[in-house]
């Protein structure tokens, strides 16, 4: 009998991958390399596409948060979920395949990269990660950067939405009352002292403030699972198992972008049931004058 070597398999990342791990796979066989997505974006600009043109990871494809990873702004919020067919076209054009892992990065605290992670998971792709430390860590370590724009082969991913839990406004209100709803915005937006974007300030009554920036260290790397677990436990998160299809935890932010990082952080911390995402977030809630707004330090 002739011994045969097993076929090499693609790496299985998630939810966070180190720069060293990503670099190793990018240097490996072409057929096993992950798809890399550059999703740099800033709430008040400048556009992430400018940063991408100045330099990006080799082979990385740029996706625009506003145009590619969200639907048109309107009553549902500033960054509603994209239509499944639209998202599938975007992902296939970026080369996303069902049999290849995907790594997303931004140039801040991974909260924007987490939007790509969350969308792919919601769409049914379960081998997705964000790059720990993002573009800043990659560049600081002297790893290769290019201005060459790749022309990826069309992917074959099929978007099957609904694989992660999504809340509407009523669901968010109920969770804030009966479970734990985390507000991922900065403290001054939660209290209502400063609201730079949406119609009015404050927070959903009962929501607890968990600024997304507290999930990473000062250098932009994710906190350890142990530290994240302590952080969320102090906010009332239950790390016991829940019944299938149920979630006693959820998150929202300004428009559903950075709250995705709370869902990711809870998974990294060891929560077995994925937290729900209020996709419309405060941009949806605050636009409805019949929805109450709490202000100040207390959940309300």
User: What pLDDT, in 10s, does the model give residues 13-27?
Assistant: 779 999 999 999 999
Please give the pLDDT value at position 272.
86
Q: Tokens 């299938």 map to which residue?
A: 244
pTM for this prediction: 0.93
Distance of alpha carbon 188 from alpha carbon 296, whole angstroms:
9
Residue of 263, 289, 272 lying closest to 121 (CA atoms): 263
If asked whether residues 278 and 200 sit together in one domain, one would say yes
- Please tell me the predicted confidence (pLDDT) of residue 146: 98
Residue ending a domain, choose from 140, 174, 201: 140
Question: Are 203 and 277 in a shared domain?
Answer: yes
Residue 249: its H or E element: strand 249-252
Do 136 and 56 sit in the same domain of this protein?
yes
Residue 61 backbone dihedrals phi, psi, to 5 degrees: -105, 130
- In this structure, the answer to whether residues 71 and 36 fall within a common structural domain is yes
**What mean pLDDT do residues 91-95 have?**
98
Residues 113 and 201 in one domain: no
Q: Residue 250: give the domain boundaries.
A: 166-285
Report residue 43's pLDDT band, with 50, 70 and 90 as the boundaries.
Answer: confident
User: Does 177 lie in the same domain as 84?
Assistant: no
* pLDDT at residue 5 in the model: 42
Question: Nearest Cα to 289, choosing from 207, 206, 202?
Answer: 202
Q: Looking at the structure, do residues 201 and 105 belong to the same domain, yes or no?
A: no
Query: How many domains, in total, are found in the chain?
Result: 2
Assigned domain for 3 exists: no
**Torsion, Cα of 141, 229, 108, 256 (10° steps):** 150
Output the pLDDT for position 129: 97
- Does residue 92 sit in the same domain as residue 184? no
pLDDT tens sequence across 203-254: 999 999 999 999 999 999 999 999 999 999 999 998 875 545 445 899 999 9
The enclosing domain of 30 has a CATH number of 3.40.250.10
Task: Indicate if 172 and 278 belong to the same structural domain.
Answer: yes
Distance (Å, whole) CA 83 – CA 78: 14
**Phi first, then psi: what are they for 236, rounded to 5°?**
95, 10
Query: Does residue 126 lie within any of the structural domains?
Result: yes
| Active-site option among 91, 253, 262, 264 | 253
Asked, for residue 160, whether it belongs to a domain, the answer is no
61 given a catalytic annotation:
no
């Amino acid at each position: 009998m002739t011994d045969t070597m097993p076929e090499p398999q693609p790496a299985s990342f998630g939810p966070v991958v180190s720069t060293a791990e990503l670099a190793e796979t990018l240097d490996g066989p072409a057929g096993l390399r992950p798809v890399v997505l550059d999703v740099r974006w800033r709430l008040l600009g400048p556009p992430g596409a400018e940063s991408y043109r100045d330099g990006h990871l080799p082979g990385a494809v740029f996706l625009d948060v506003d145009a590619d990873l969200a639907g048109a702004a309107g009553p549902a919020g500033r960054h509603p979920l994209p239509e499944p067919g639209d998202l599938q076209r975007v992902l296939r054009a970026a080369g996303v395949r069902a049999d290849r892992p995907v790594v997303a990065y931004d140039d801040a605290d991974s909260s924007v990269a987490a939007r790509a992670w969350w969308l792919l998971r919601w769409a049914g792709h379960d081998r997705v990660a964000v790059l720990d430390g993002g573009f800043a860590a990659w560049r600081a370590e002297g790893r290769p950067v290019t201005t060459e724009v790749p022309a990826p082969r069309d992917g074959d991913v099929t978007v099957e939405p609904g694989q992660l839990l999504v809340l509407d406004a009523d669901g968010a209100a109920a969770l804030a009352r009966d479970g734990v709803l985390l507000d991922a915005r900065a403290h001054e937006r939660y209290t209502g002292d400063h609201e730079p974007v949406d119609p009015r300030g404050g927070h959903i009554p009962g929501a607890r403030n968990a600024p997304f920036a507290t999930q990473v260290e000062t250098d932009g790397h994710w906190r350890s699972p142990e530290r994240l677990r302590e952080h969320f436990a102090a906010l009332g998160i239950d790390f016991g198992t829940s019944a299938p299809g149920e979630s006693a935890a959820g998150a929202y932010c300004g428009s559903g972008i950075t709250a995705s990082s709370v869902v990711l952080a809870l998974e990294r911390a060891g929560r077995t049931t994925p937290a729900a995402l209020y996709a419309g977030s405060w941009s949806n809630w605050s636009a409805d004058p019949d929805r109450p707004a709490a202000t100040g330090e207390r959940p309300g």
